[in-house]
């Protein structure tokens, strides 16, 4: 096992995680402020489950709804980035194992990545 | 209640949950869902959707620090993530087919278990066993920084640990929590991985596990921006504060007080579930 490469991989993963969380928190905060300014006096009623509107339920729909007029889509975009952060972490780990020529872990990491992409990219 | 009243209230509850969750090691998600449903009457599906998102934020934030310190084992994490993500998919599918009253009861039971585990404090490392041949083949055995030099450890019972991780993933997907407690039991008690490596690697895996169910939650409309926004920001801020707090003698007291509060919430969840069905 090449420890130098593993250490380097760990450093990169650490940076990916921190950056992802920070950027998404900032976007959610911006979207949230915008939402409160525009919809602050509307009623918050979440006692009965209706489900978030369709435009906030998939990657395509959220990207489509994004814009300065739609604050909730901005929040949802920030949350999408947050969900993408662990996915990016796995993708970076995959690249690392490819560079290390560690075939077993290339396979293992690919399986995890496929499961994640199946969940996030498709509608269920 | 208007959004201008609802949002700060949820933010405050989530901060408290994140703070206590990180001080006690329970995680914020497991506390924020009962708080939102019991105190504010939020539908449990909105609560678990928001909680799951906050779990990704806190675990990724914390994992970033642990990875750098060299305690977490990327290979163990990656291998076991096959089990946790498959479990999470199964749990998330099951979640939308389970009546909310049953969800509340299951949540209460898991909460009771967490309270009990947390009141006992850190698990003690069991005696190390010989490495499982499978662990050697998968290069799971590793080292971690000891007091003076790097310490080596072996990993045992790989198959049993893998099976338990599927269960931990399913609970995570079903209830929108990190289920870190279950992951630690599987690694520390079954696979005989040192406690410090188990807890940090578990934290590392929580975000990936949660992301696997997040896609399904999103499609089903569980992630409502109006709730997820204050919950995610609050839990994240609270857990960052909690992580900075010095761990002193008062933690024992706090742990006990907290275990009692969580147990009361757990029983209320079960009662509300039984009444609802």
Segment B80-122, tens digit of pLDDT: 999 999 999 999 999 989 999 999 999 999 989 888 877 776 6
Contacts of B7 in chain A (CB under 8 A): 32, 36, 44
- The helix/strand/coil state of B141 is coil
Domain assignment of residue B154, yes or no: no
- HEC string of A71-124 equals HHHHHHHHHHHHHHHHHHHHHHHHHHHHHCCCHHHHHHHHHHHHHHHHHHHCCC
Q: Is A34 on the interface with B (CB under 8 A)?
A: no
pLDDT of residue A5: 67
Q: Which DSSP state fits B130? A: P
Q: Cβ contacts of residue B244 below 8 Å, gap of 6+?
A: none
Count CB-CB contacts under 10 A for residue B11: 20
pLDDT of residue A109: 97
CB contact under 8 A, B56 and A75: no
Residues, chain B: 277
Q: Shortest Cα distance from B137 to chain A (angstroms)?
A: 9
Query: 3-state DSSP: chain A helix, strand, coil percent, rounded to 5?
Result: 75, 0, 25
Domain ranges of chain A: 3-121
Q: Is A77 on the interface with B (CB under 8 A)?
A: no
pLDDT of residue B247: 54
Domain assignment of residue B140, yes or no: no
pLDDT band at A32 (very low <50, low <70, confident <90, very high): very high
- The helix/strand/coil state of B34 is helix
| Domains identified in chain B, total number | 1
What are the tens digits of pLDDT across the range A46-72? 999 999 999 999 999 999 998 878 999
Domain assignment of residue B143, yes or no: no
* HSE-CB for B197 with a 13 A CA cutoff: 28
- Give the CA diameter of chain B: 60
Domain containing B33 equals 3-131+159-276
State the Cα–Cα distance between residues A105 and B210, nearest whole angstrom.
21
Distances (CA, A) of B10 to B39, B45, B84, B242: 10, 16, 29, 18
State the Cα–Cα distance between residues A6 and A57, nearest whole angstrom.
37
pTM over 0.90: yes
- ipTM confidence score: 0.92
State the Cα–Cα distance between residues A33 and B62, nearest whole angstrom.
26
Contacts of A109 in chain B (CB under 8 A): 78
pLDDT over 80 at B244, yes or no: no
CA A79 from chain center: how many Å?
Answer: 6
Scanning A78-117 for CB atoms below 8 A from B yields: 79, 82-87, 89-90, 93, 102, 104-105, 108-109, 111-112, 115-116
CB contact under 8 A, B233 and A85: no
Nearest residue to A120 (alpha-carbon basis) of B213, B139, B186, B114: B213
Domain assignment of residue B33, yes or no: yes
State the Cα–Cα distance between residues B18 and B158, nearest whole angstrom.
32
């Amino acid at each position: 096992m090449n420890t130098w490469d593993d250490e380097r991989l760990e450093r990169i993963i650490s940076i990916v995680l921190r950056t992802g969380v920070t950027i998404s928190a900032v976007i959610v905060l911006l979207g949230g402020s915008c939402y409160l300014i525009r919809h602050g006096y509307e009623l918050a009623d979440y006692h009965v489950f209706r489900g978030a509107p369709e435009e906030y339920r998939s990657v395509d729909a959220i990207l489509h709804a994004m814009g300065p007029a739609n604050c909730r889509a901005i929040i949802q975009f920030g949350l999408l980035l947050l969900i993408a952060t662990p996915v990016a972490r796995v993708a970076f780990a995959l690249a690392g194992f490819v560079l290390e020529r560690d075939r077993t872990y290339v396979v293992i990491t690919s399986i995890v990545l496929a499961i994640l992409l199946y969940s996030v990219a498709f509608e269920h | 209640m208007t959004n201008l009243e609802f949002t700060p209230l949820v933010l405050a509850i989530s901060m408290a949950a994140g703070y206590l969750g990180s001080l006690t090691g329970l995680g914020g998600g497991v506390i924020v869902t009962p708080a939102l449903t019991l105190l504010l009457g939020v539908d449990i599906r909105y609560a678990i959707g928001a909680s799951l998102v906050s779990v990704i934020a806190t675990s990724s934030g914390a994992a970033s620090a642990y990875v750098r310190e060299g305690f977490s084992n990327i290979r163990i994490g990656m291998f076991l993530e096959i089990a946790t993500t498959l479990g999470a998919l199964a749990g998330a599918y099951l979640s939308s087919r389970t009546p909310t009253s049953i969800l509340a009861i299951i949540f209460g039971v898991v909460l009771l278990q967490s309270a009990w585990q947390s009141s006992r404090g850190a698990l003690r490392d069991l005696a190390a066993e010989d490495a499982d041949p499978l662990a050697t083949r998968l290069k799971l055995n590793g080292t971690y920084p000891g007091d003076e030099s790097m310490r080596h450890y072996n990993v045992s019972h790989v198959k049993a640990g893998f099976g338990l991780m599927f269960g931990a993933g399913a609970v995570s997907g079903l209830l929108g929590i990190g289920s870190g407690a279950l992951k630690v039991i599987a690694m520390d008690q079954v696979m005989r991985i040192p406690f410090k490596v188990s807890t940090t690697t578990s934290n590392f895996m929580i975000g990936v596990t949660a992301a696997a169910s997040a896609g399904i939650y999103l499609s089903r409309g569980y992630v409502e921006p109006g709730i997820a926004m204050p919950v995610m920001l609050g839990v994240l801020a609270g857990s960052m504060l909690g992580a900075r707090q010095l761990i002193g003698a008062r933690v024992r007291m706090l742990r006990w007080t907290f275990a009692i509060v969580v147990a009361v919430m757990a029983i209320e969840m079960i009662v509300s579930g039984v009444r609802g069905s």
